[in-house]
Chains A and B, each alone.
Chain A
Amino acid sequence: MSTQRQKQPDEPETQEAPTDQEMKAEASPQQKRLQRKREQQSAREASADEGEPEEETVHLKVFRYDPEVADKQEPRFDDFHVPFEKGMTVLDAVMYARDHFDSSLTFRHSCRQAVCGSDAFFVNGKQRLGCKTQISDLSQPIRVEPLPHQEVVKDLVVDMDHFYEQMHAVEPYFQSEDLPQGELEEQRQSRENREKIKMSSRCIWCGACMSSCNIAAGDNQYLGPAAINKAYKFAMDDREEEEIKEHRLRILEQEHGVWRCQTQFSCTEVCPKDIPLTEHIQELKREAVKKNLKFW
């Protein structure tokens, strides 16, 4: 077996911030802006007990757990001090910590641009996408934890299977039987209708909404905001026929469907794609009532 955690001469805790050339380039507009942002930030957080954000390094407190490794079986937090760079995101910071301090630091990530949905973490007490969260917008030390209400596999990695199951439970595929006959004939769709489903179609399956939802935490079978939103995308699409829409509403108004939602808006608040989830759920409730479906 290889060594546990490499003892590095420059253990993160004692790591001195390398002097960063760019940090000193006073003239850069980005720099000024970040400076401005930091000032605003510290003004806002003057009362916060964490104190002012550091100038040149970022202090991260990262959740660690590995069921297989002796000293990680008990969850703990590791401190990392990472040199700050303009435009740095939480994902950049944990990647830096992994590549320079501890290669066993584990998290999912891929696109770095908020499209793959891999890196939803619990950052300073809120579900956020690591790659879409600027360090300069956060107070320090920055706590990075795995998404709550999901089983932790290791460090920041949670088990997504339940989330995927709920997504699959709403028949998440287009079901029109009535396709145009002619070769190369598309189905027509009005611009308004395309616009109506636009926001719902942006979901990247990050799971932030589900993790933020109290109802989902208490009712494991609740479909959850993302799956309901996925169903919304199809149910509101005029290209599907009326009977299919009814079929979809029937799935949604079951015991663990839309009626569970108590409009707390937490999902809407955390969604990195700004999808009006609660509104979509409310609209589906109204549709279900309109269709005179039985509800619970």
Chain B
Amino acid sequence: MYEHDVIVVGAGGAGLRAAVAAHEAGADVAMVTKLHPVRSHTGAAEGGINAALREGDDWELHAYDTMKGSDYLGDAPAVETLAQDAPEETINLEHWGMPFSREDDGTVSQRPFGGLSFPRTTYAGAETGHHLLHTMYEQVVKRGIEVYDEWFVTRLAVTDEPDPNDRTCHGVVAYDVQTGKIEGFKARKGVVLATGGPGQAFDHTTNAVSCTGDGQAMAYRAGAPLEDMEFIQFHPTSLPSTGVLISEGVRGEGGILYNDEGERFMFEYGYANNSGELASRDVVARAELTEVNEGRGVNDEYVHLDMRHLGEERIMDRLENILHLAEDFEGVDGLVEPMPVKPGQHYAMGGIETDENGATCIDGLYAAGECACVSVHGGNRLGGNALPELIVFGKRAGYHAAGGDLGEAEIETGYADDVEDDDTDLPITPGEAGIEPEGVAADGSGQVTDAAGSLERAVEAERERVDHLLEKDDGVQHSEIRSKLQQAMTDYVNVFRTEEGVKKALKIIRECRQEYQDVYVADPSRTFNTDLQHTIETRNLIDVAETIALGALVRDEFRGAHWRKEHQERKDDEWLKHTLISWDRGKPSVWYRPVILEGEEKTYEPKVRSY
């Protein structure tokens, strides 16, 4: 058993910032992370950090852009906190030595980004996330903060009161990947989840293989609601074989999209007659898939992004890193041939419901970063708004978890008697109801602690679960279930969503859940058993994928990144509200809470989101 004041789970940008903040607030803090911190997916972010730093810009403009980008599903207190705190937090990174790109006068550079009314995206070459991650890790090293790296957290120790709002989190259970040891980590003050996104729920994603929604699934099963899970951003230009992202820069510089017949489809088929290739991410992504579905895709899979006409000189000057990406990861030379691209899952706007202080409805449980939903991004995240979210809300969550006072939050969390319940007819019973658990493999869920929240019992339950998985000799391997799940999500819950398709996905997810009862781990070793780790992750993906599909089914409108074939309009009368899904002892239920559009000084009036 290990014991600290604050346990931060995950060491990407959000987790590292939370740990530093908790440490500065005087807490004894430790990080528990399945990857060494510098391996976290934050390192993949290229574009930059939005912050209103310059004359002519101010936080209110940033808040306005963010709210508009969110399609009016961001909560004003969160959006305004982000915009107000981002400048200080960004400069703070500079003070910690982050190598930002510079202007002639030596100040940090900013550039324009989609959906921003001012060029406020602060960047460090094409490697902003890499530098942010390493700079933050340096600060953790400097402070001597304890890092348990390659420790995989499998369960939260949360008390078992009937109402999740009454529960308390006392720590986590983790598995040492290197040795196979399972241990409890007691948190005297709080646990901060900063486990990143659930991109691996999809077959094709720009996210790392470690992005398996673990924190979301664990918090969900412990009783914290997941919010707005249906809002998934797809990026229109990812490489087909790996999902590696080709940035908007190529289209910004004049790159053209062609179908297999050599047609410039954005114009020829009227998807975006004005902006063409530069239309918003979701429009371009849907256009590409329509081309493929109608038989005009290259190899029935992707389209071509051509930049050859820009000429070698311009390409080398502005887009050199793209050449390397295409060469290294797709074996394609962008100077002599077009690059294959297709839409890929990119970002999850939804996540663990928190208030603007990072707190969930469970006492002592916090969340920040992509795994959380504060909610800043609402229906759609603007490019460059995720990294500031990590540092702004990571800091707040860490500080609050350490006992710091941030004042009363305006955003409410947790189910309340006066909220609206959903009454959509579901094609299946979601969750675990009706599934006969075979031993403890089906478990990993729910409360196993008593009212005292004993960590020992949680540890015991995890040891049994792992023993079961390792001792079982045959059955299904997780990779089969995982790829079936990913395929269903990509087929039916991607940029195109139909009622029928989403219902199909829910049925397949249900099948995956049933098959998982029979899952086993073929590798018997306790040493670095990634098979075991991935098997447990797959269970998390099932729960998270189900919430994404449930949200996609109940929300019958088109808002932000969520598009429904039968409902291609935003319905403000009905849908200015968040979708929340709560798990109660294996049974999920869907309910709603109105969005908060009243800011400090003004109310954000929903307008048409056109650019």
Which A residues contact B (CB, under 8 angstroms)?
1-6, 21-22, 25, 28-30, 33-34, 37, 66-69, 85-89, 92, 99, 102-104, 106-118, 131-132, 134, 136, 153-155, 157, 160, 164, 168, 172-174, 176, 179, 183-191, 194, 197-198, 201-202, 204-205, 233-234, 237, 239-240
How near does chain A come to B327, taking the closest CB pair, in angstroms?
A: 8
With the chains together, A22 CA to B91 CA distance in Å? 49
Contacts of A179 in B (CB 8 A): 95
Contacts of B527 in A (CB 8 A): 66-68, 153-154
With the chains together, A87 CA to B101 CA distance in Å? 32
Interface contact B210-A68, CB-CB below 8 Å: no
B273 interface residue per 8 A CB criterion: no
Interface residues on B, range: 35 or more
With the chains together, A148 CA to B367 CA distance in Å? 40
CB contact between B521 and one of A2, A69, A136 (< 8 Å): that residue:
A2
With the chains together, A150 CA to B586 CA distance in Å? 45
B244 interface residue per 8 A CB criterion: yes
Q: CB-defined interface of B115-136 with A at 8 Å, one 1/0 digit per residue? A: 0000000000101011100110
Excluding A112-B329, A115-B44, A116-B38, 13 further A-B contacts by CB distance (< 8 Å) are: A2-B470, A29-B332, A88-B241, A92-B242, A111-B208, A112-B244, A113-B44, A113-B325, A116-B39, A154-B527, A155-B528, A186-B100, A201-B131
CB contact between A173 and one of B35, B141, B340 (< 8 Å): that residue:
B141
With the chains together, A102 CA to B521 CA distance in Å? 11
Q: Can you report 12 A-B residue pairs in the complex whose CB atoms are below 8 A from each other?
A: A3-B522, A22-B299, A68-B525, A87-B330, A89-B329, A99-B483, A106-B531, A113-B325, A154-B528, A155-B528, A188-B105, A198-B99
With the chains together, A72 CA to B239 CA distance in Å? 37
Among the 9-residue stretches B471-479, B541-549, B569-577, the one with 4 or more Cβ atoms under 8 Å from chain A is B471-479
Interface contact A115-B35, CB-CB below 8 Å: no
Nearest CB in chain A to that of B207: its residue: A111
Interface contact B330-A30, CB-CB below 8 Å: yes
Interface contact A92-B97, CB-CB below 8 Å: no
Interface contact B531-A104, CB-CB below 8 Å: yes
Do most interface residues of chain A lie in helix, strand or loop, or is the interface mixed?
loop
How near does chain A come to B481, taking the closest CB pair, in angstroms?
A: 12
B526 interface residue per 8 A CB criterion: yes
B508 interface residue per 8 A CB criterion: no
CB contact between B329 and one of A116, A131, A188 (< 8 Å): that residue:
A131
Interface contact A173-B97, CB-CB below 8 Å: yes
Contacts of A191 in B (CB 8 A): 102-104, 106
With the chains together, A268 CA to B138 CA distance in Å? 24
Interface contact A173-B139, CB-CB below 8 Å: yes
Contacts of B331 in A (CB 8 A): 30, 33-34, 37, 86-88, 134, 136
B209 interface residue per 8 A CB criterion: yes
Contacts of B524 in A (CB 8 A): 1-4, 69
Which residues of B from 59 to 105 have beta carbons under 8 Å from A?
A: 87-88, 91, 94-97, 99-105
B107 interface residue per 8 A CB criterion: yes
Interface contact B471-A2, CB-CB below 8 Å: yes
Beyond A173-B141, A188-B105, A194-B102, whether A86 also contacts B477 by CB under 8 A is no
How near does chain B come to A138, taking the closest CB pair, in angstroms?
A: 12
Interface contact B106-A189, CB-CB below 8 Å: yes
With the chains together, A25 CA to B299 CA distance in Å? 7
B404 interface residue per 8 A CB criterion: no
With the chains together, A92 CA to B338 CA distance in Å? 22
Contacts of A6 in B (CB 8 A): 522
With the chains together, A122 CA to B473 CA distance in Å? 33
How near does chain B come to A183, taking the closest CB pair, in angstroms?
A: 7
Interface contact B470-A1, CB-CB below 8 Å: yes
With the chains together, A234 CA to B99 CA distance in Å? 10
With the chains together, A107 CA to B528 CA distance in Å? 9
B607 interface residue per 8 A CB criterion: no
Beyond A30-B331, A34-B331, A114-B328, whether A185 also contacts B209 by CB under 8 A is no
How near does chain B come to A5, taking the closest CB pair, in angstroms?
A: 7
Nearest CB in chain B to that of A69: its residue: B525
CB contact between A28 and one of B125, B298, B471, B528 (< 8 Å): that residue:
B298
Beyond A3-B473, A201-B99, whether A184 also contacts B521 by CB under 8 A is no
Interface contact A99-B479, CB-CB below 8 Å: yes
B490 interface residue per 8 A CB criterion: no
